[in-house]
Amino acid sequence: MSEIRYSKFDNRYVIIAPERFHKPLNIDCKYKKDDIKNCPFCAGVEHITTKEIFSIRDNKNNWITRVVPNLYTALNLETKFNSKQNRFFEKFSGFGMHEVIIDTPKHISIFDFIDSDYFYLLKSIKSRIIDLKKDIRIKYLSIFKNYGLNAGATQSHPHSQIIGMPILPIAKRELLEREFRYYKRHGRRLLKDIVNEEIAEDKRVLFKNRDFISFMPYASIFPFEIMITPLDNSFSFTNFNDNKLSELSKILYKSINLLYQEIGEFDLNIEFFEPPINKNFDTEDFFDAIERFHLLYIRIRPRIFNLAGFEVMNEMNINPVEPEFMKRVLDEFIY
């Protein structure tokens, strides 16, 4: 039986339509079996990439993660930021930065990761946030991982990306404004209230450890979508010491591995949402209050169905998997 659910967090409707569950999947992972001799991200061919910005290394000086500028950059630090309006139309110059985090020297599938691989990725993300925050021209960092052709990846070696912008994307500004309004009305964090409700209902919670919780949102936008949040009031990756990063890496590993056990290898996007790092005209109304109303989150979004016309035109997804049903299916794999 289909339902139209409303997400208070995303401010959007989602159609939960189990009848469409048997629609053909869009899984094509063949590209991951490419020739690693041609991979620019593997250990031993570091000279192929752009100049290294940051790395984490072991006691033998072998790199564990590396960060380099994206060769095919979306935005450029050399460009001076300015805005122009030509009668009705407005545009901004292409100022910004675009970095690639090479997650591991190993040419492996993300489903071969162990929790320490996620730990060093998260540690690299934290380090880059701290460093990039010093450039007051950059206001917002989009931090994400594309894995698989259907999720937008063009390089099979595990990697993540950071795009820094002088503006805040409209969807993220509206999210933060929604959280801020909720805080001013209730004195609480919107996502924290959602998490507390998920814990109370216990219909969609997958894992919970001392510091974090992993659950399938009530109005999941994508099939098998998972959200991970802290159980305290942490609003930024910079709030976490190594112990907390380790706990976060474990729950991230377990969440992705859980889906793998049920549906096999699949393409996915992971969003590591960090709130704006510097104030500008987009954020001046709420920037100084972010630590009081925002709660950090990670979203794992499997990309096993293509978006169709209805979804693109109406910005209203059709999800053929009821999250409560999926939780019951996954229970046999939860340990």
- The pTM of this model reads 0.91
* 3-12, 237-246, 283-292: range with lowest mean pLDDT: 3-12
In the predicted model, what is the mean pLDDT of the chain?
A: 88
pLDDT of 172 over the 70 cut: yes
Specify the higher pLDDT residue, 73 or 105: 105
pLDDT of 86 over the 80 cut: no
pLDDT of residue 31: 46
* 217-226, 251-260, 265-274, 302-311: range with lowest mean pLDDT: 302-311
Taking the domains of the chain in order of start, what are their residue ranges? 3-333
286 token code pair = 């709420």
CA–CA distance, 55 with 305 (Å, rounded to integer): 35
Q: List pLDDT tens digits, range 140-168.
A: 999 999 999 888 888 889 999 999 988 89
pLDDT of residue 15: 64
pLDDT of 262 over the 50 cut: yes
Q: List pLDDT tens digits, range 5-59.
A: 778 887 777 766 565 555 444 454 444 555 577 789 999 999 999 999 999 999 9
CATH of 3-333, one of 3.30.428.10, 3.20.20.140, 3.90.700.10, 2.60.40.1260: 3.30.428.10
Q: List pLDDT tens digits, range 297-315.
A: 999 999 988 777 777 777 7
pLDDT of 139 over the 60 cut: yes
pLDDT of 125 over the 90 cut: yes
pLDDT class for 214, splitting at 50, 70, 90?
very high
The percentage of residues in the chain with a pLDDT greater than 70, rounded to a whole number, is 92
pLDDT of residue 275: 97
pLDDT of 335 over the 70 cut: no
